[in-house]
Amino acid sequence: MKKLLTLCLALLSLQVYAQEKRVTIDDFVTEHNGLEENQDGEIVPINDREINKKIRFFIEEKYDNVEYTRNIIWDSYETFISPYDRRHHHTFIVQVKVIDVKRLKYLEVDYYPNTKLIDSHFEWDEEIQEFEEKEMVEEEAAAINA
């Protein structure tokens, strides 16, 4: 019984350490203070070399059908706060060259400043030769299978 209790406590402590660092209100304030306005009242796009490198590397790793990336443009900053959850991320639009496709395509990626990770909710749809949001692709597949 003592070993079982010790094992449970050890697993619980590992679970606590494995959880993501929770976003704090100070994290939101820091990100908001980092945004700048120009003379016309427009937000100046974030142009951070390190974030751009991470985005390029992410695309190279995740999308093997992409030959190269071109422009990486900051699109938006989003926050979500509720009694149970807090999160925020920047969205970037990336111009990419897809293998065997003549026109350049656009891919939306998210940068999470709290963890410094990049992710995208889009995947390549060969049939229409566009990047489609994963949820849309899954819903369409479910409709076809129904």
Cα distances (Å, whole numbers) of residue 45 to 36, 72, 89, 94, 128: 8, 10, 14, 14, 31
28-41 pLDDT, tens digit each? 777 777 788 888 88
Vertex 8 angle, CA 3 and 14, to 5° = 125
* Cβ atoms 59, 95 nearer than 8 A: no
92-138 pLDDT, tens digit each? 999 999 999 999 999 999 999 989 999 999 999 999 999 999 875 55
**How far apart (Å, rounded) are the C-alpha atoms in residues 60 and 133?**
18
Least confident of 18-27, 47-56, 66-75, 79-88: 18-27
Q: Which residue has the higher pLDDT, 67 or 44?
A: 67
Sequence ranges of the domains in the chain: 23-145
**How far apart (Å, rounded) are the C-alpha atoms in residues 50 and 121?**
21
